[in-house]
Amino acid sequence: MPLTRKEAMTTAEVLSEAMPYIQRFVGKTIVIKYGGNAMTDEKLKNSFARDIVMMKLIGINPIVVHGGGPQIGSLLEKLNIESHFINGMRVTDSKTMDVVEMVLGGMVNKEIVGLINANGGSAIGLTGKDGQLLRARKLKVKHKTPEMEAPEIIDIGHVGEVAQVNVKVLDMLAQSDIIPVIAPIGVDENGDSYNINADLVAGKVAEVLQAEKLILLTNIEGLLDKDGNVLTGMTTKQVDELIEDGTIYGGMLPKIDCALGAVKSGVTSSHIIDGRVAHSCLLEIFTDEGVGTLITNRSH
C-alpha cells in the first residue's frame, strides 16, 4: 500500500534528521551491551538485530556484548543445581561454570548471531577464549556486616573481572563486514574460565577501543531524578554529584559506574537506554531526542 503524503513527509523528515548523525559516526565504533527485555521479547529481538545491521550497512562498527543471567538461572533450575548469590553475584563453582559457558557461549550467543544474520547482517559469535579476546582475573568480593571490624574476602568461584582485552581480534573484525557478538566469558593464564559481568566487559571493550559510544540497554527509561523524570544530557561531574547526594543509589550504581568509567577513560559518550522501546539503539543514535540518558565529558 502506498504511503500517504503525511507518512511520506514524516519518513523524509526522519531521514533528514538522521543525516548529520550518520555523517558524524561513519567509521566509528559503538559498543552495545544487549540484555533485559530486548533480549527476551520476540519483536524487540528483531528490532535490535535490524538496528545493528543498519549501523554496519551505513559504515558504523557495532560490537555487541550480551548477558544471559535469567537463561543461566533457568537451565540451572532444570538441572537441579542450586543458585547462591553474594552481593548480587552468582557463586560459580566448576559445575555452575560449565552451565554458564553452555548458555552464554552456546545457546544465547548463537541465537543473537542467528538473529543478526537473518536480518541481513554477517555476525560472528566469540567468547573471551577465542583469540584470547578476554583475559580474566578472579574477582575478589568483600563482604561486611555492621558487627564486623573489617570486611572479609569471599571466594565466589569462577567469577572474574577483565584484566586485558585483545584489541587485535576486534580491529581485524572491524575492518571487515563482520559484526562481533561477545559472550562475557574470560580466561586466565592457566586456561580457567570465568563468568564476567556483561556491563563490565562492554565498558572495558569500549575503553580499549576508545569507542565513540557505549550503549547499555536496560529495562528502565534511563537515569531518573528525584521526581522520576529522565535525565538526558549529563556531564560526568553532574553524575558524580547525583551519586553523592543519593539520587543514584542501589541497583543502578554498578551500571552508572560502568558508564561513567568508560567516559572518564576516553569513550566519547555513554548511553543508558530503554531496551523496552523498539529500535531504541537507532532512536538514541540518530534522533535529536534519543530514548535515554546520555553521559559525556562535554557540557551541552
Mark the binding-site residues, compressed into ranges: 68-69, 90, 195
d(CA 57, CA 51): 10
Backbone angles phi, psi at 123, to 5 degrees: -105, 150
Tell me how far CA of residue 24 lies from CA of 28, 32, 109, 209, 218, in angstroms.
8, 18, 30, 18, 25
Q: Which amino acid is at 172?
A: M
Q: What SS3 class is residue 74? A: helix
Question: What CA dihedral angle connects 189, 190, 192 and 198, to 10 degrees?
Answer: 0
Burial annotation 78-103 (CB, 10 A radius, 16+ → b, else e): eeeeeeeeeeebbbbeeebbebbbeb
Q: Which amino acid is at 261?
A: G
- Residues tagged in the binding site annotation for substrate: 68-69, 90, 195
d(CA 18, CA 32): 19
